[in-house]
């Protein structure tokens, strides 16, 4: 299956999505956001996929930002609609996927690019990665969840500093702040992402779905994270994966999970 401005591939249980607009430094336009939505939805529904890796083509950029030419003449209502639709189609959609998404951040991740990386469940960066939210230099603010997710990841004060100053930070600084989980040489970026994906893929998909939902609930003001955890913990006891996992442990063998 093909998607506009994307390359996709699958190895075993790992589905890789590569944003492929190198002439635009993989900038997000409407067509690419739509294609990403479709690719993530496809991987989510594919029974033999357990983990998704997202990256950008080339060595210069993960995603250098949004395609400014598409919205430079928008009015107030059009701007609000752009943010709402983008969050619904892609950024919130990715965060709520039941299958883990690992963002392999190579090069620039600016504006919408950093917002996309932050919507993933885990981030690994190459040593040459540069990250920032420069929207205030254009007279706007981050509109794809950046003001919320950056503060969740690095704290309110640092998020304010980065957003208001439009500062760009390198991979090591991002790691120190907790914005990325790990930093590796660019040549090792996908190898590292795939190694982590393989480790995750060996675990119970049913439990992973529940864990993602429970963690997200703690950042949703409409939910009580602790209550959600209790409910989902109990739900796990009714799954085939729980029966297989506990049986394998007691029988001193490796569990073979089905995701049910």
Residues noted as catalytic = 115, 135
Question: CB burial class (10 A; 0-12, 13-18, 19+) of residue 151?
Answer: middle
* Nearest CA-CA partner of 9 in 56, 53, 60, 62: 53
The full DSSP string for 81-94 is: HHHHHHIIIIIHHH
* Stretch (H or E) spanning 149: helix 146-154
How many residues comprise the chain?
A: 260
The number of angstroms, rounded, from the C-alpha of 14 to the middle of its chain's C-alpha atoms is 15
SS3 110: strand
Pair of tokens at residue 4? 């506009």
SS3 250: helix
In angstroms, the CA 235 to CA 226 distance is: 14
């Amino acid at each position: 299956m093909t998607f506009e401005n994307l390359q996709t591939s699958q190895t075993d249980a790992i589905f890789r999505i590569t944003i492929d607009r190198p002439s635009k430094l993989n900038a997000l336009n409407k067509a690419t956001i739509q294609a990403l939505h479709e690719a993530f939805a496809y991987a989510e529904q594919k029974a033999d996929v357990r983990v998704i890796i997202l990256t950008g083509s080339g060595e210069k950029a993960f995603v250098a930002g949004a395609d400014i030419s598409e919205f430079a003449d928008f009015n107030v209502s059009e701007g609000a609609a752009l943010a709402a639709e983008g969050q619904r189609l892609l950024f919130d959609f990715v965060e709520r996927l039941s299958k883990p998404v690992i963002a392999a951040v190579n090069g620039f991740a600016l504006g919408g690019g950093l917002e996309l990386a932050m919507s993933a469940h885990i981030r690994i960066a190459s040593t040459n990665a540069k990250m920032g939210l420069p929207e205030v230099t254009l007279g706007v603010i981050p509109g794809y969840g950046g003001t919320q997710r950056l503060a969740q990841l690095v704290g309110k004060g640092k998020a304010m500093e980065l957003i208001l100053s439009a500062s760009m930070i390198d991979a090591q600084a991002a790691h120190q702040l907790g914005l990325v989980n790990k930093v590796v040489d660019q040549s090792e970026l996908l190898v590292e992402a795939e190694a982590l994906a393989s480790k995750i893929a060996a675990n119970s998909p049913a439990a992973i779905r529940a864990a993602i939902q429970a963690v997200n609930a703690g950042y949703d003001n409409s939910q009580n994270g602790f209550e959600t955890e209790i409910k989902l913990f109990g739900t796990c006891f009714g799954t085939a994966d729980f029966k297989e996992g506990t049986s394998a442990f007691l029988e001193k063998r490796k569990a073979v999970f089905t995701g049910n």
